[in-house]
Amino acid sequence: MKRFSKFKPEVVELLRDDKKQSAQVLVSFNNDWIGFKNAMEFEKYFEAGHHSRKEWNASESSKGSSIYAWLARANDFESEGPIGDYLRTNRELKTIADLDQEAVKTRNKAVVELASEIDMRNEIYDDLQIKYNQKSMSLSRMLEEKDNLHQAFFEETRKMQRLAREHVKRVLDEQEMLNADLEKRRKKLDSWGKELNKREALTEREKQKLDEEKQKNDLQNSSLQLASLEQKKADESVLRLVEEQKREKEEALKKVLELERQLDAKQKLEMEIEELKGKLQVMKHLGDEDDTAVQEQIKKMNGELEAKMEEMDGVEEMNQTLVVKERQSNDELQEARKELIKGLQDMSSGRTNIGVKRMGEIDTKAFQDACKEKFSSDEADVKAIELCTLWQDKFKNPEWHPLKVVAKDGAPDAHEEVINENDELLNELKAEWGIGVYNAVVTAFKEMNEYNPTLSAKEDKMADLADDFRTITMKSLW
């Protein structure tokens, strides 16, 4: 049978006739036009070798062991014997016209089914496109709302800072007036003390009167000492409130920035997921199910989509956590702000004084004046804060030390630290922003170097200032 394999037979069945002691073989081909072509070539092969039906019928008595073959037709279908019985039981007799008509019907049915499926997939694709466009528009509106909320937040923050500065300025102005009045009263009491000392040589009656006035003077001095102690306690209280508010504000701003970064990452991830879903749906509805490459691509995209969804869940969980933390921090910041304002109001009503200066803190006014020459009013404030923060952070860098050791004038054995005029960073600062900004940075660095820039050193310095009753202007609370 190997030599007949070129005709691509599908089934070979053996029919044995025990009466005639002969065997007949039925060879089946594919049930299409290609199979019909192979069957015709199979028949022609035996006709060319003179072993067709014609030779079979002619050599009825002397067939020998040769193989004869032909294409089964109507006379075989209607014949008696094993072949006819088999054909009538397992096969149908059809003309070529019947086959053509059946093929046309099958083809038309397939075309109709394919057209219907294409229409259905086009409708699904249109629906997916509409949903994708709706999601894109919704995401655009969400981004716009986020920008508006961000802008409103910063405007409200600037407003709160401005109101706080104005209130602190009013308190400081009142403090200066109170300090002047206190100094005036102190001088007056000193004058009374001197006058009382001069009257010690007077009569007994005058001495008694003098003793009474001394007691009154001592009582007033005691009251002044109590007022000084109250002043010190008030100063320490307001410093704690200011530091707490500043710390809470910085933490809140950090959490807001982190929340914005997570929100941007979440929105970007949502866009990637929607785009991936759209591509996946299009490939599912337009791709051929038998196309291995397409199926592999769909499987790969499904994997990417699952990974994106898992990442989305993680970002969503982190985003919710940051939102809760941001709200808690904001509530704490508002409470601290209320306590600060209440404390300042109480001190104002109680006629107390505030005198605080953080040693080593850069004066922002010099940066604001320099930035106003280059930027608009709003941009100048923001730029000044950025530059001031940048240089304040440089103070913490242990590798940057713009000082040099020189001998003191008139004392060769004594040395002191002075600013290095050749420091590259300071020279660049002076060239770009002017001498005012340069002096502000140099002054702050000298203070920090003199008073040891640690928290405990700053607190001790504040206590000394309160004990000495020296009035120091508060440069900035924020």
User: pLDDT tens digits, residue range 140-171?
Assistant: 899 999 999 999 999 999 999 999 999 999 99
- pLDDT reported for residue 213: 84
CA-based nearest residue to 25, from 51, 1, 50: 1
Number of structural domains the chain divides into:
3
How would you write the pLDDT of the chain (478 residues) with one tens digit per residue?
Answer: 566 767 777 777 767 666 665 667 777 777 777 777 877 888 888 888 777 777 777 766 555 567 777 877 777 777 777 777 777 777 777 777 777 777 778 778 888 889 898 989 999 999 999 999 999 898 989 999 999 999 999 999 999 999 999 999 999 999 899 999 999 998 988 888 888 777 665 667 777 777 888 888 888 888 878 877 877 776 677 677 667 766 766 776 676 567 667 767 777 777 877 777 777 777 666 655 556 776 777 777 778 778 877 877 777 777 777 677 767 766 776 676 566 656 655 555 544 444 445 667 888 888 999 898 888 887 888 888 888 999 998 888 888 888 887 877 766 666 678 888 889 989 999 999 999 999 999 999 888 877 654 433 333 344 344 343 333 333 333 3
380 occurs within a structural domain: yes
11 occurs within a structural domain: yes
36 occurs within a structural domain: yes
Distances (CA, A) of 256 to 156, 260, 313, 319: 14, 6, 20, 11
Q: Are both 332 and 390 inside the same structural domain?
A: no
59 occurs within a structural domain: yes
Q: Are both 342 and 370 inside the same structural domain?
A: no
Full domain range(s) for residue 372:
364-452
SS3 (DSSP) at 22: strand
Q: In 130-171, which ranges are E strands?
A: none
86 occurs within a structural domain: yes
Q: Are both 338 and 389 inside the same structural domain?
A: no
User: pLDDT tens digits, residue range 381-408?
Assistant: 888 888 899 999 888 888 888 888 787 7
Q: Are both 73 and 191 inside the same structural domain?
A: no
- pLDDT reported for residue 349: 52
CB count, 10 Å around CB of 169?
A: 11
Rg (CA), the chain: 51
Q: Are both 334 and 381 inside the same structural domain?
A: no
Distances (CA, A) of 49 to 52, 54, 266, 273: 8, 12, 79, 69
Q: Are both 311 and 198 inside the same structural domain?
A: yes
Q: Are both 234 and 155 inside the same structural domain?
A: yes
Q: Is the pTM of this model over 0.75?
A: no
End position of a domain, from candidates 93, 116, 150: 93
- pLDDT reported for residue 336: 64
Q: Are both 218 and 330 inside the same structural domain?
A: yes
Q: Are strands 411-419 and 403-408 parallel, antiparallel or unpaired?
A: antiparallel
Is 454:337 a contact under the CB 8 Å cutoff? no
CB contact set of 297 (below 8 Å; sequence gap of 6+): 283, 287
234 occurs within a structural domain: yes
Q: Are both 172 and 312 inside the same structural domain?
A: yes
Q: Are both 255 and 199 inside the same structural domain?
A: yes
237 occurs within a structural domain: yes
Q: Are both 73 and 203 inside the same structural domain?
A: no
Return d(Cα 228, Cα 355) in angstroms, integer. Answer: 12
Tracing tokens 């290095």 back to the chain, one arrives at: 420
Q: Are both 148 and 33 inside the same structural domain?
A: no
477 occurs within a structural domain: no
Is 324:255 a contact under the CB 8 Å cutoff? no
